[in-house]
Amino acid sequence: MEQTCYKSNGKQPVSRLRKAYFARLVERCLLFCVCIYLWIKHPEEFDVLHGMNFFNRFSFLHIMWIIWVIDMICQLMPIGKKISLGSHKLFKQRFRPILDKINHNALREYINTTTKSAYKVMLLWLGLAATIAGLYYAKITNRIVMFMITAAFSICDLICVLIWCPFRLLMKTRCCTTCRIFNWDHLMMFTPMIFVKSFYSWSLFFMALLVFAVWELFILMYPERFWEHSNDALKCVNCTDKLCTQYCRKLARN
């Protein structure tokens, strides 16, 4: 049985990082509500989604753009422990090596297995993206709807981290800390935006593509940082994030 970060005989306090992520979830929900209001009352705010209108005037959607860009920059920079280990485990600063115990054959098998599972998830997501694109090109949806889908995906992203994650079932991953696809989140969020031809949408998508490419490159170059049997920081007993507490508690009962 995996060692756990929770004791079975008592409830542990909510971690500071988990509180911060819940605050981000509330923030995204509030922003989404504002977007719904603007869609109904001030649809002209979404003109930024046309061509180069991004540079014409400042709108509420620029605030959303800035928040999303900052989130992605944080995934590309080792900025300490303000970002979850699951997102930053690619960096040397978050790596606690078990050099004398690494089974390199097992490590290679782990990376191969999780990568196959990851690209099964990608295929499913591309199927969803194709459906969304079909609705858009059939003019059943429009630019605003594509933006709203993206904003809804941003909420679902944190729900997956904090409450329940369907990808964990597909990946057979213990928790977010060990998740193979943790930094795929923005690429998946902004997939609908690739079909909206504008600076606003493409700048977000291609930056998300950069985050994805860096993540995948680091897995190829430093696979030992992504496996709990070669990176001691990923073991549940050493967990400081305590984001996926429902999984820790289940393990503690066993």
Asked which of 2-11, 20-29, 102-111, 188-197 is least confident by mean pLDDT, the reply is 2-11
Q: Is 192 exposed, middle or buried (0-12, 13-18, 19+ CB in 10 A)?
A: buried
pLDDT range class, residue 171, cuts 50, 70, 90? confident
pLDDT at residue 1, rounded to an integer: 34
CA-CA distance, 95 to 83, in Å (whole number)? 14
Query: Pick from 148, 120, 114: which is nearest to 226 by CA?
Result: 114
Residue 81 has pLDDT above 80, yes or no: no
Residue 230 has pLDDT above 50, yes or no: yes
Helix (H, G, I), strand (E, B) or coil at 198: strand
pLDDT range class, residue 252, cuts 50, 70, 90? very low
CA-CA distance, 215 to 229, in Å (whole number)? 19
Residue whose pair of structure tokens reads 């997501």 in the numeric block: 125
pLDDT at residue 249, rounded to an integer: 52
Stated pTM of the model: 0.89
Residue 9 has pLDDT above 60, yes or no: no
Mean pLDDT, the chain, whole residue set? 88
Residue 11 has pLDDT above 80, yes or no: no
- Mean pLDDT of the 202-228 span: 96
Answer with the residue of higher pLDDT: 11 or 129.
Answer: 129
pLDDT at residue 172, rounded to an integer: 80
Asked which of 68-72, 106-110, 164-168 is least confident by mean pLDDT, the reply is 164-168
pLDDT range class, residue 148, cuts 50, 70, 90? very high
Kindly state the helix (H) or strand (E) to which residue 132 belongs, with its residue range: helix 104-137
Residue 2 has pLDDT above 80, yes or no: no
